[in-house]
């Protein structure tokens, strides 16, 4: 059984939030999710604060710039690369100022190598995913950059245990060969599972943090993620079909944590606490595991990032995640 850094009955967020004030967003996270807070991402600040651009700023010796079609590799660092780095540096300064004394688990998020390779274009304009050599270079650069990022966060939060979430919403499409070319007229060749697993493992091994992989798409490759070294998997509960019960059950039985997106991520009428918890209980009943393990292994989250939600809804949704996690824990006592 994996030793989890979080306590029983825990909730957390996925990553992104509305607004442009990192200090205010972090205070909300710390207030609503005290057991497992995380570093908020604020894409409303513009290019370089988005998922791909934010992580591209971590790449070592692989600068990027922004084209109308999206992010593209450059010969030298320019203002777009610097803007990405400036956003993150500001966030880390705020983190140290607001949460420097945090002494529990703390989660940070970066874009995974396959989603990043599908998001950044080569210099001639096609996606990096198309070129195996470019992907290898990106993976090595990302591994080094993420390791440095984890070390930086650890210096700023010396009493915290760092949880690293790799966001891979694009991985299922890369495996299925459904990622469009830059022109959109055809699809890129499917990535072989052993290649995908090795790349993820390279980044996870380099990071030296408790690894979570988040994938809010359909057809999550659970076995591949486990093989790459993920110790917890973050998924949208609504997209977890019964046909995946065997592979998900095997992961739970092997001691893998499960971050379940049980609360809508955009403004909606929140269901009652009981209605929020019941799909989680139903899933666990299908697996047949003891209720106590549910409270230990499952972390309740929103369904995905919350950049498209209103600040008022964000507070309500995070509170619902926290209350649902606590209720599931109390029911297991």
Provide mean pLDDT across the span 85-99: 97
Q: Where are the alpha helices (DSSP H) in the chain?
A: 22-32, 51-56, 79-99, 113-119, 132-156, 171-176, 193-207, 222-227, 245-253, 273-287, 291-297, 311-332
Crossing angle of the two packed helices 79-99 and 22-32, in degrees rounded to 10: 40
Provide mean pLDDT across the span 193-198: 98
Tell me, what's the pLDDT at 182? Answer: 78
Going from the C-alpha of 273 to that of each of 20, 35, 309, the distances in angstroms are: 30, 19, 20
- What is the tens place of the pLDDT at every residue in 269-302? 999 999 999 999 999 999 889 888 999 999 999 9
Tell me, what's the pLDDT at 2? Answer: 67
Give the side-chain half-sphere CA count within 13 A for 194: 0
- Is the predicted pLDDT of residue 245 greater than 90, yes or no? no
Question: What values do phi and psi take at 149, rounded to 5?
Answer: -65, -45
Question: What values do phi and psi take at 298, rounded to 5?
Answer: -100, 130
- Is the predicted pLDDT of residue 101 greater than 80, yes or no? yes
Domain limits of the chain? Answer: 46-230
Per the CB < 8 A criterion, the answer to whether 320 and 270 are in contact is: yes
Tell me, what's the pLDDT at 30? Answer: 97
Let me know how many helices (H) and strands (E) the chain has, helices first: 12, 10
What region does 6 belong to: left with phi over 0, alpha with psi -120 to 50, or beta?
beta
In this prediction, residue 124 has a pLDDT band, given cuts at 50, 70 and 90, of: confident
Residue from 92, 110, 138 nearest 214 by CA: 110
Residue from 262, 267, 265, 278 nearest 322 by CA: 262
Report the chain's mean pLDDT, rounded to a whole number: 95
Question: What values do phi and psi take at 119, rounded to 5?
Answer: -105, -25
107 strand-pairing partners: 38, 163
* Torsion sign (Cα): 113, 256, 152, 140: negative
Residue from 240, 234, 241 nearest 304 by CA: 234
232 strand-pairing partners: 212, 257
- Give the number of residues written for the chain: 333
Tell me, what's the pLDDT at 1? Answer: 55
Tell me, what's the pLDDT at 69? Answer: 87
- What is the tens place of the pLDDT at every residue in 27-75? 999 999 999 999 999 999 999 999 999 999 999 999 999 999 899 999 9
Give 185 or 270, the one with higher predicted confidence.
Answer: 270
d(CA 84, CA 149): 13
């Amino acid at each position: 059984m994996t030793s989890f850094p979080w306590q029983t009955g825990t909730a957390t967020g996925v990553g992104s939030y509305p607004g442009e004030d990192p200090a205010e967003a972090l205070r909300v996270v710390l207030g609503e999710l005290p057991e497992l807070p995380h570093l908020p991402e604020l894409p409303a600040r513009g290019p370089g604060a988005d998922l791909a651009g934010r992580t591209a700023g971590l790449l070592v010796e692989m600068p990027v710039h922004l084209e109308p079609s999206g992010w593209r590799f450059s010969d030298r660092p320019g203002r777009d690369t610097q803007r990405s780095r400036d956003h993150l540096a500001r966030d880390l300064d705020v983190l140290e100022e607001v949460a420097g004394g945090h002494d529990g688990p703390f989660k940070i998020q970066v874009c995974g190598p396959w989603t990043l390779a599908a998001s950044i274009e080569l210099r001639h304009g096609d996606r990096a995913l198309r070129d195996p050599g470019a992907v290898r270079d990106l993976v090595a650069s990302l591994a080094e950059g993420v390791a440095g990022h984890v070390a930086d966060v650890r210096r700023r939060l010396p009493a915290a245990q760092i949880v690293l979430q790799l966001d891979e919403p694009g991985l299922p499409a890369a495996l299925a060969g459904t990622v469009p070319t830059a022109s959109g007229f055809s699809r890129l060749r499917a990535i072989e599972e052993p290649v995908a697993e090795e790349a993820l493992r390279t980044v996870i091994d380099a990071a030296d943090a408790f690894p979570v992989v988040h994938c809010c798409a359909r057809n999550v490759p659970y076995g591949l993620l486990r093989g790459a070294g993920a110790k917890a998997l973050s998924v949208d509960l609504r997209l977890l079909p019964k046909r995946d019960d065997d592979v998900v059950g095997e992961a739970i039985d092997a001691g893998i944590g499960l971050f379940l997106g049980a609360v809508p991520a955009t403004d909606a009428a929140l269901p009652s606490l009981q209605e929020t918890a019941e799909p989680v209980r139903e899933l666990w009943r299908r697996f047949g595991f003891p209720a106590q393990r549910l409270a230990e292994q499952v972390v309740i989250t929103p369904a995905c990032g919350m950049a498209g939600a209103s600040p008022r809804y964000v507070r309500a949704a995070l509170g619902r995640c926290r209350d649902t996690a606590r209720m599931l824990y109390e029911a297991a006592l």
